[in-house]
Amino acid sequence: MEQITLSAVLQALMLIGLISNLFGQWLQKHVSISRLLPWKLPKSKDASPSSEESISKPIAESILSTCKDSQHPCAHSLATLLQQDGAGCWPPRTNHAVSSWPAALRPYRQIWDDLSPLIPTPNSSRLLDDDANKRRIGHFRCLMRENLAMRIDIGQVMEVLEDDTPSRLGQDTVNALYCCLAMLRHGYRWAVIPAVKVAQLETALDIPSELGTPWKLLQRRYGLKAESSNLTGTILHNFTNEGEFVFNINAGMPEHLQKCEEHFCRISYSTETLALPIYNEMVQAIVAFDRSDKAATLRHVENIYPQLGHVLRVFYDTMHDGHVPRSLWLSHVQSFQAWGLDRVNAETGEKVRDNGVSGSHLLFFQALDSFLGIDRYLSHTDLLNSIPVRQRAFCEALKKHSPRGRLSSGRAAGVANDGSADLDPMIERGFSKIAERLKVFRAAHKTRVMPYLSVPAPERLPMTAGRSVLKGGGDNLANALEPLRALLVKRHNDTV
Ligand code: HEM
| 331 in a structural domain | yes
Mutate to test the pocket of ligand 1, among 333, 442, 449, 468 (most ligand atoms within 8 A of CB): 449
Whole-number Å distance, alpha carbon 467 to ligand 1 midpoint, is 11
Q: In whole angstroms, what is the distance from residue 488 CA to residue 235 CA?
A: 23
Q: Is the CB of 386 under 6 A from ligand 1?
A: no
Residue owning the nearest CA to atom 29 of ligand 1: 359
In short, whether 315's Cβ falls inside 6 Å of ligand 1 is yes
Backbone angles phi and psi of 208, in degrees to 5: -55, 145
Q: In the predicted model, is pLDDT for residue 203 greater than 90?
A: yes
Pick the residue whose CA is nearest to atom 25 on ligand 1: 359
- More confidently predicted of 224 and 40: 224
Show the domain range for 164: 1-401+429-496
Weakest mean pLDDT among 97-101, 254-258, 476-480: 476-480
What pLDDT does residue 422 have? 86
The type of residue at 224 is L
Query: Using N-to-C axis directions, what is the helix angle for 171-190 and 106-115, rounded to 10°?
Result: 40
CA separation for the pair 293, 496 (Å, rounded)? 25
Nearest CA to ligand 1 atom 21: 359
Higher pLDDT, 345 or 429: 429
Q: Which amino acid residue places its CA nearest to atom 26 of ligand 1? A: 359
Alpha helices (runs of H) in 168-237, residue ranges in sequence order: 171-190, 197-200, 209-222, 231-234
CB of 359 within 6 A of ligand 1: the answer is yes
Among candidate residues 209, 470, 215, 238, the one with its CA nearest the CA of residue 333:
238
Q: Give the angle subtended at the CA of 392 by the CAs of 387 and 397, to the nearest 5°.
A: 165
Distance of CA 215 to the CA centre of its chain: 18
Does 309 map to a domain?
Answer: yes
Number of domains composing the chain? 1
This model's pTM is above 0.85: yes
Rounded-to-integer distance, Cα 43 and Cα 50, Å = 10
Q: How many CB atoms lie within 10 A of CB 32?
A: 10
Residue 223 lies in a domain: yes
**296-331: pLDDT as tens digits:** 999 999 999 999 999 999 999 999 999 999 999 999
Residue 274 lies in a domain: yes
Residue at 118: amino acid letter: L
pLDDT at 337: 97
Q: Which residues contact 454 (CB under 8 A, 6 or more apart)?
A: 477, 478, 481
Query: Does the CB atom of residue 275 touch ligand 1 within 6 A?
Result: no
Question: Is 440 a pocket residue for ligand 1 (Cβ < 6 Å)?
Answer: no
For the segment 462-488, what is each residue's pLDDT rounded down to a tens digit?
Answer: 999 999 999 876 678 899 999 999 999
CATH number at residue 230: 1.20.58.480
Count of alpha carbons within 13 angstroms of residue 256, beta-carbon side: 10
260's CB contacts (< 8 A; 6+ apart) are: 250, 323, 324, 325, 328, 329, 332, 333
Q: How far apart are CA 332 and CA 191, in angstroms?
A: 13
Per the domain annotation, does 410 fall within a domain? no
The ligand 1 atom nearest the CA atom of 465: 16
Answer whether residue 116 shows pLDDT above 50: yes
pLDDT band at 414 (very low <50, low <70, confident <90, very high): very low
Q: How many whole angstroms separate alpha carbon 461 and alpha carbon 200? A: 7
The answer as to whether 408 is a domain residue is no
User: Closest Cα partner for 279 from 138, 459, 86?
Assistant: 86
Give me the sign of the Cα torsion angle 37, 42, 45, 48.
negative
Give, using CA atoms, the residue closest to atom 12 of ligand 1. Answer: 484
At 135, the amino acid letter reads: R
Compute the distance from residue 359 Cα to the ligand 1 centre, in Å: 5
360 pocket-lining for ligand 1 (C-beta < 6 Å) = yes
pLDDT at 31 > cutoff 50: no
If we measure between CA atoms, which residue out of 83, 84, 36 comes closest to residue 275?
Answer: 36
* Separation CA 326–CA 450 (nearest Å): 10
> Kindly report the CA angle at 247 between 245 and 252, in degrees rounded to 5?
105
pLDDT at 418: 58
Q: Pick the residue whose CA is nearest to atom 5 on ligand 1.
A: 449
Q: Is 419 inside a domain boundary?
A: no
**Is 481 near ligand 1, meaning CB less than 6 Å away?**
no
CA distance 92 to 246: 14
Please name which of 70, 74, 61, 53 lies closest in space to residue 19, comparing C-alpha atoms.
61
Residue 272 falls within a domain, yes or no? yes
Cα distance between residue 254 and residue 121, in whole Å: 10
User: Which residue has its alpha carbon closest to ligand 1 atom 43?
Assistant: 359
Distance CA 379, CA 493 (A): 18
